[in-house]
Each structure stands twice: as C-alpha cells, then as structure tokens.
C-alpha cells in the first residue's frame, strides 16, 4: 500500500497564490481530509499528487519513489473532481470503462468490470445514459466508479460531494469509507469542516497555501495549533475574544475577570472558548467563572439552540460570541445574562501570531 510524501513541495501560480513549501507524509492506510477555506490550496495539493500540476520546488514521492517526472496515468492514482468532469458525449458505461479502454483492455473484457463497478456504486440502471441525462449525484457516483475501476491504490477526491443532495451524499460517503476499508489510500479535499471531521482519520488543515495543522480530527478540535484552526473547526467554531492575563492566574475580558486553572505570564492574549463550554450561570456559580453578556439573537435548531451574545456596552461589542444550549428556556433578545465559562477548557493564543499558548510555551 502506498505512502505519499511531499518534501519541500511548492507551487506558486502567477499572482502569488498556490502552495508554499510544504512537507507532508501520508501513511498507507490513511483517510485524509485536506480541508480549508476556498482558495487555500486544497486542489493544488490534490493536483500535485495526481500529476496534473508540476511542483516549482521539492519532491513528491509515492511509495518512496520520486514521481515528479512520472505522468498521471502511471502514478497509480484515481481522481474524482467536482461534477462536470465526465465525458459528455459518452454514456455512463463508457465513462466508467474509460480508464480500462485507455489501458488497452478489450471491450468484451471491460463489460463485466464496468457492470460490477456500476452496481457497487448503485448506477447499474443508468449505464446507457449520458451525463446530461442523469442527476448530479449519479454523475458523481459514475465519476467515482471511473476513478476506482482500475483499482488504483490511491484515490483522490476534490470536493466530490459538493452539489450532491444530502441523501445521495451519504451513499458517496459510504463508498469513500469502503474504499478506505478495502485498503486504498484516500485523500479528499473539502471546504466543509464537518465533512472532514466526520469522515477522515487525519486532517490536513490549510489556510492561504500553508498547512496550519496535521492531526487526527479530535486532536485538532481539542488542541488546535492556532486560532485559525480553532475558529475553523466546529459549527459554530471556537469563540475568539481579546483579553489579557492579569496577576498570575486571572483573565480579564472586558469588565469581567475569569480565574485560570494554571498560572500564565501576564499580557494580552486571544481567548478561545468553545460554544459548548459555556452555559447560562446559576445563582450559585462562582463569579470568577462568569462573563456578563447581552443576548443578540437565538437560533432554535431543534436539538439545540445557538445563543448569540455580545459583551460590554452596545457599541463596544463587535464579537459575535456563540453559546450552544440544550435548555428549553432560552433568554430573549436583548436580555442581560450571566454566562458560566468552563475555565478549565479555555484556550489561550498569542495575540500577535495566533499560536496556541501551552502551559510550557510561555
Ligand atoms: P482550493 O482548492 O483550496 O479552493 P486552489 O488550490 O484551487 O484552492 O487554489 C489556491 C490558490 O491558487 C487560489 O488563490 C487560486 O486562486 C490560485 N490558483 C489556483 N489555480 C491557479 C492557476 N491556474 N493560475 C493562477 N492562480 C491559481
Ligand atoms: Mg479546490
């Protein structure tokens, strides 16, 4: 099974964007989500692995061999891109069988394999149709079949779930999981953090052409390397507020002070608080765990509510601070409330660089 490695790989397009020098090692049995906002370099990474882009610097290795000069078809990769990449004049059957045709396999021998792949991806009934005659989700399934029919060890998906309606998306997701279980190395690029969190064994989190963190989903969620990752992961993401450490173990936020569980060096910090680490305070809550806030509005989502609050006076509170609540009773718009903060779960970041401050880093 293949490993994929980037050694100092960069790709900068005219205009200055792309991928800055990157080191990356993806193990044989991994299911990696390359995740980040639009324009962060996800497709560039996928295309570099597929051989559709050449790196400006560095080496790309598959299974320990440098593949910079190896063409796409000889790299052992299959690739699925966002809808539209099927050959529009060919039927679904011909599309799925296309890689076999290119590999010189005779029509009679292709048929059986195409049928098997088609039934696996639940598109056996539409094999005679052209891409314009099938749904977006079916096109994606056909494309997945085409990308995997040669049984390439590496399968790459670039935003492959985008535009598929939710019930179809589940079946494509399941096929991705199956491919991984069967021993393929799977990489998928997505701008959806929840898709990435839910599906992968490891996240490669990108912003502006630079990897911000490589970690298992829950590790990145609980111990984000920096404020970008903290805010990007989660729905809603981590709340980030300006504050400062005062004394040894107190954290000033606006007019309130929280008690920190461990002593930190004094100075300005960015304070990270997850929406689920906050609740409406009770009368017995120690005031060193409380922030005074005002309710802006409440999103009632059924299973939970997202309460949006502001701190301080009406004109100073620009931060949209979110609280996840399952309480039936939620505050009304404009109501003043006391929030209890789980101070043991508060994270601190350097206010200038955004790097997370760990107990031994400062
Ligand atoms: P993502 O897939 O994360 O949305 P891309 O990898 O496609 O991002 O692009 C990364 C950055 O490089 C973006 O700013 C994009 O506009 C730029 N870019 C991508 N391809 C080209 C190209 N062929 N020419 C110039 N700029 C490009
Ligand atoms: Mg892209």
pLDDT in the model for residue 315: 52
Contact indicator for 29, 6 with CB cutoff of 8 Å: no
SS3 307: strand
User: What residues sit around ligand 2, an ion, with C-beta below 5 angstroms?
Assistant: 42-43
Could you tell me which of 78, 341, 47, 358 has the C-alpha nearest to residue 19?
Answer: 47
CA torsion 185-191-194-198 (nearest 10°) is: -10
Distance CA 261, CA 344 (A): 6
In the chain, which residues have pLDDT < 50? 316, 362
SS3 8: strand
pLDDT in the model for residue 152: 86
At 245-271, the pLDDT tens digits run 998 889 999 889 999 988 888 999 999
Which DSSP helix (H) or strand (E) runs through 20?
A: strand 18-26
Q: Which residues line ligand 1 (CB under 6 A)?
A: 13-15, 17-18, 36, 38-44
Residue 91 DSSP class: -
List of residues 6+ apart from 351 with CB closer than 8 A = 242, 267, 268, 269, 270
Domain ranges of the chain: 4-226, 239-350
Which runs of consecutive H residues, i.e. helices, occur in 79-183?
A: 92-102, 107-120, 136-148, 166-181
Which runs of consecutive H residues, i.e. helices, occur in 184-224?
A: 193-199, 217-222
Residue identifier of the C-alpha nearest atom 6 of ligand 1: 41
Counting atoms of ligand 1 from 1, which one is nearest the CA of 18? 12
Contact indicator for 24, 5 with CB cutoff of 8 Å: yes
pLDDT in the model for residue 306: 96
Fold match flag (4-226 vs 239-350): no
Cα–ligand 1 centroid distance for 53 (angstroms):
11
Q: How many Cα atoms within 13 Å fall on the side-chain side of residue 34?
A: 27
pLDDT in the model for residue 165: 72
Q: Which ligand is nearest to the CA of 81?
A: 2
The CATH class that applies to domain 4-226 reads alpha beta
pLDDT in the model for residue 150: 86
Counting atoms of ligand 1 from 1, which one is nearest the CA of 189? 2
Distance CA 250, CA 244 (A): 8
- Cβ-based burial of 345 (10 A; exposed 0-12, middle 13-18, buried ≥19): middle
Tell me how far CA of residue 206 lies from CA of 49, 60, 76, 241, 268, in angstroms. 16, 18, 25, 22, 26
Specify the fold of 239-350. OB fold (Dihydrolipoamide Acetyltransferase, E2P) (2.40.50)
Site to probe by mutation for ligand 1, drawn from 10, 12, 13, 22 as the one with most ligand atoms within 8 Å of Cβ, is 13
């Amino acid at each position: 099974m293949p490993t994929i490695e980037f050694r100092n790989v960069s790709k900068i397009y005219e205009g200055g964007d792309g991928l800055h020098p990157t080191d990356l090692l993806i193990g044989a049995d991994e299911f990696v989500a390359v995740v980040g906002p639009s324009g962060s370099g996800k497709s560039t990474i996928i295309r570099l692995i597929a051989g559709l882009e050449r790196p400006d610097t560095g080496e790309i290795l598959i299974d320990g061999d440098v593949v910079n000069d190896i063409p796409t078809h000889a790299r052992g990769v299959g690739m699925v891109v966002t809808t539209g990449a099927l050959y529009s004049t060919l039927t679904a059957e011909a599309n799925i069988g296309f890689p076999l045709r290119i590999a010189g396999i005779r029509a009679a021998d292709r048929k059986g394999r195409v049928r098997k792949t088609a039934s696996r991806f639940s598109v056996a009934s539409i094999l005679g149709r052209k891409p314009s005659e099938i749904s977006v989700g079916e096109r994606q399934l056909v494309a997945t079949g085409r990308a995997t029919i040669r049984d390439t060890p590496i399968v790459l998906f670039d935003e492959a779930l985008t535009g598929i309606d939710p019930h179809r998306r589940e079946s494509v997701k399941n096929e991705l999981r199956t491919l991984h279980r069967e021993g393929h190395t799977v990489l998928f690029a997505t701008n959806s953090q929840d898709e990435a969190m839910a599906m992968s064994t490891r996240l490669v989190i990108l912003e502006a052409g630079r990897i911000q963190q490589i970690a298992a989903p829950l590790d990145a969620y609980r111990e984000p390397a920096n404020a970008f990752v903290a805010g990007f992961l989660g729905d809603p993401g981590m709340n980030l507020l300006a504050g400062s450490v005062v004394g040894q173990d107190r954290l000033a936020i606006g007019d309130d002070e929280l008690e920190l569980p461990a002593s930190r060096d004094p100075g300005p910090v960015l304070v990270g608080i997850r929406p689920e680490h906050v609740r409406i305070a009770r009368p017995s809550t120690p005031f060193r765990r409380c922030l005074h806030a005002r309710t802006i509005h409440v999103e009632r989502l059924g299973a939970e509510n997202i309460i949006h609050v502001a701190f301080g006076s009406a004109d100073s509170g620009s931060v949209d601070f979110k609280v996840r609540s399952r309480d039936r009773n939620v505050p009304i718009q404009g109501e003043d409330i006391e929030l209890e903060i789980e101070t043991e779960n508060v994270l601190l970041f350097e206010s200038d660089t955004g790097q997370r401050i760990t107990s031994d880093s400062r």
